[in-house]
């Protein structure tokens, strides 16, 4: 059972929004995060209709930040930006983790290169030159002896961080992260990755940012099989990261079933997150947090233009053509 006191702590971020909104010291940032799965399109090994998400954005708030996981290269980021600029009010630029991409998996050549990326709205944010930096997520040591957790070796788990100056002069730190799957050693080492994330954002020059925003695919639920908080999630909360979507549950925690972001073997799981904190020692406030449902994105595309998704199936054994295999997470944080 999830402790009510903990749930009340998680809910206070949202409860405080109305009062805080009247006296904001830092800018309000509209952020999205999504494992975009290499821009799934129809007729690929793993099918999808990735630009449905863009049509959803066009009907809602223009993003300041978009944290992407699993893109092939800068060319693919630029393709994403091209579509985003065509259907939204912003102008965008992007950067990727500086590493040699590798990948694989069940989806064939279209997922053979996997990197993390940060996309930002140049109308509100300016990249601070020289602040892009990377670090590798942790995994269980595959060899006997030595440390239990070691650096992973997949390009998709090379996390990327950078600083941006808001038009009001304050600095924002953004990080796009991806942790290994349990099969790749995440089960025993996610809390190590959470601690390392905190350490990375407490380095100079990131520690002086007014707001730190993290988005990613953690491949791990926040609630464990005993219906208690997972160890890594406790670590994130102890390090003052607010979870805007979880905050919507309030003191009763009654919205667990609606928080899922990914389906594995027919089981819906929450493994994708948006976190934010003020500086390095206070949870950020938030409003407008949500998961972008596949149906709402598809409806947005259909309202804009007629396009047939006939015969396209994203999840094996489940009808429908979706923008990703992961539901995007969004929120406005300050």
* Mean pLDDT along residues 169-186: 96
On the CB side of 148, how many CA atoms lie within 13 Å of its CA?
A: 8
Question: Of 94-103, 198-207, 253-262, which gets the smallest average pLDDT?
Answer: 253-262
N-terminal to C-terminal alpha carbon distance within the chain: 31
How much is the pLDDT for 288? 93
Long-range contacts of 221-224 (CB under 8 A, 24+ apart): 221/269, 221/270, 221/271, 222/246, 222/270, 222/273, 223/2, 223/256, 223/270
**Confidence (pLDDT) at 318:** 82
What pLDDT is attached to residue 187? 95
99-126: pLDDT as tens digits? 999 876 778 888 889 999 999 999 999 9
pLDDT attached to residue 289: 94
Residue 326 predicted with pLDDT over 70: yes
pLDDT attached to residue 3: 44
Dihedral class, residue 42 (left if φ above 0, else alpha if ψ from -120 to 50, else beta) = beta
- pLDDT beyond 70 at 15: no
Nearest-angstrom CA–CA distance, 25 and 14: 17
Mean pLDDT computed over 258-275 = 92
Chain segment 294-310, per-residue pLDDT in tens: 999 999 999 988 777 87
| Pairwise CA distance, residues 277 & 223, whole Å | 21
In the prediction, which pLDDT does 63 show?
97
Q: Which residue has the higher pLDDT, 3 or 228?
A: 228
State residue 298's pLDDT score: 94
How much is the mean pLDDT over the chain? Answer: 89
pLDDT score for 116:
98
- Encoding tokens for residue 289? 């947090």
Confidence band for 14, pLDDT divided at 50, 70 and 90: very low
């Amino acid at each position: 059972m999830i402790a009510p006191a903990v749930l009340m702590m998680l809910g206070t971020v949202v409860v405080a929004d109305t009062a805080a909104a009247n006296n904001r010291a830092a800018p309000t940032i509209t952020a999205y995060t999504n494992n975009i799965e290499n821009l799934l399109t129809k007729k690929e090994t793993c099918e999808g209709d990735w630009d449905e998400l863009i049509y959803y954005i066009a009907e809602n708030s223009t993003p300041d930040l978009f944290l992407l996981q699993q893109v092939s290269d800068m060319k693919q980021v630029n393709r994403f930006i091209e579509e985003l600029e065509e259907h939204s009010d912003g102008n965008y630029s992007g950067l990727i983790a500086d590493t040699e991409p590798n990948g694989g998996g069940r989806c064939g050549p279209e997922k053979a290169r996997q990197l993390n990326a940060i996309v930002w709205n140049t109308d509100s944010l300016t990249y601070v030159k020289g602040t892009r930096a990377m670090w590798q997520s942790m995994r269980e040591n595959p060899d006997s002896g030595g440390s239990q957790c070691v650096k992973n070796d997949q390009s998709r788990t090379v996390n990327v961080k950078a600083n941006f100056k808001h038009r009001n002069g304050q600095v924002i730190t953004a990080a796009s992260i991806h942790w290994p799957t349990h099969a790749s050693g995440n089960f025993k080492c996610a809390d190590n990755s959470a601690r390392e994330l905190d350490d990375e954002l407490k380095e100079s020059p990131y520690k002086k940012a007014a707001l730190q925003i993290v988005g990613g695919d953690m491949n791990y639920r926040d609630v464990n099989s005993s219906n208690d908080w997972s160890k890594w999630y406790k670590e994130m909360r102890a390090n003052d990261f607010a979870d805007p979507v979880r905050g919507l549950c309030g003191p009763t925690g009654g919205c667990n079933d609606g928080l899922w972001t990914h389906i594995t073997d027919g089981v819906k799981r929450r493994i994708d997150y948006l976190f934010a904190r003020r500086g390095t020692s206070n949870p950020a406030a938030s409003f407008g947090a949500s998961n972008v449902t596949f149906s709402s994105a598809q409806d947005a595309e259909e309202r804009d233009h007629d396009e047939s998704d006939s015969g396209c199936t994203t999840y094996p054994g489940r009808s429908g053509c979706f923008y990703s295999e992961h539901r995007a997470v969004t929120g406005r944080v300050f």
